[in-house]
Structure 1
Amino acid sequence: MPQRLANKAALITGAGSGIGLESSLLFAQEGANVLLVDINLAAAQKGAALIQERFPNVKALAVHADVGKEDDIKGAVDLAVAEFGRLDVMFNNAGIMHPADDHALNTEEKIWDLTMQINVKGVWWGCKYAIMAMRKNPVDEERGLRVGGSIINTASFVALMGAATPQLAYTASKGAVLSMTRELAMVHAREGIRLNSLCPGPLKTPLLMDFLNTPEKKERRLVHLPMGRFGEAVELAKAALFLASDDSSYMTGTDFKVDGGLTSCYVTPVGEPTLQPPTSLI
């Protein structure tokens, strides 16, 4: 079976852990050259080294970047184009869920502003510079269409429904990601540039587990999950691969939900067997 991202170039933010790391490994396995971007350079470098060890036929690089700084994102995109010759996939995955994020009465303005800077402005800048790079990709002579590319923005199920545990800034920021993705998808559809949001349900990643830091908070989330478990980062990586590849060539502007059924369920089934999560790629 041909590799789904053969000869393509991908940039993934938040690539040092969780969804970003699993996606970096999976994209490389499918033939992509990958630039792993993270504020934790050591973690990104470790991921790049793992890719080179497992998939020596592709190129993997790591770079430090704070997605809350426009110059850092521009520099990362420029580096990807300089090293790989093009940019085909931009996965704006980096984000924060601050432990001090709460409801409207308790959330401080500085927490709100920090969350918006990273989760909203960071995605905006990622889309902006990726679009500029993708516009330079060649034209498919057979179809007479520009190759364009795929931009994937990590949103959340809380952008579609209220969160049971208050996290106002995070929820608002992810709603903004959905709206921004839809509009950009419409604006750039005729350029062959597809934009889709990935909406994870609750995942067993450090970002969420650090927030759900008590048994009560964890149970408050689990009670709403039909599958009876938190998702795994590798499950979201597989969804990101689908959106990155030509398998989703007729999809743009979507809110792609990978949430264990959470947003479709009113009452959670009780007493049913729990499905076992897949094994991580790491």
Structure 2
Amino acid sequence: MGSVNWNVVFGPEGRALFASGLWITVQLAFFAIVFSTLIGSLIAVGRVSKSPALRPLRITLTALVEFIRNVPVLVQLAFWYFGVFGLSAVQWLVSPLTSLYSIEFIAGACALIVYRSAYIAEAIRSGLQSVPRGQYEAARASGLGYLTTMVRIILPQAYRMSLPALINHYVGVTKNTSIVLVIGVPDLVFQAYTLTSRTFEVFLVMGTAVATFVVLCTVVSSGFNALANYLDHRWGYVRHSNRPHSLKSWLEAWAA
């Protein structure tokens, strides 16, 4: 271990590259989580609607979700960057944002948002279908409109029921941010490659990138698990554990 040159990672150049790359990765993950959840929620609500008038919308949304889920994320990234954002009209439309973010960043964020929103829509749709129908009927009988019922009664319960699956998707999209390096976004992995090409310390630099992703994904999952526990306590849901609470009780349970 004495031959490891830690200055490669913790020196001024290494710290600057990793810090800038991590900041880009965190922003991409944040935008992807927030906007994919919003879009996925809208898709899920549209797909569970029972109105005959909305049947064409349900068919369209179902086809859209299946299409997005069956196209690799790397292909979608190329489509957004070289296709959609290669159009001058689109570049003009997003020009107000280019003072903050590059076209590459915006295209990468759009690809991640659209790709993950299809999976999140399915998770939330499952949660919506798990809410007892009586909840909706009771809210409507109380005089609440459809939109108020969905926003204040149904969706909060659906989010809580879907949260375990959503956490997996949030961790997944955090890891998926690494693909944006192929279009030149200077994220964490891009900067790790840059530092590796300058120092040739592949194991040390990439090992640091791996450790950083482990910490980042752990923070994401732990944060949403804490949110789930908070909602459980606020809504009066108490988990009953069957695990023994002491060594004596554990031994008694094991002997039984």
TM-score (norm. length: structure 1): 0.24
- Of structures 1 and 2, the one with the larger relative CO (CA 8 A, separation 6+) is 2
Max Rg structure: 2
Q: Which has the higher helix share?
A: 2
TM-score (norm. length: structure 2): 0.26
Q: Which has the higher strand share?
A: 1
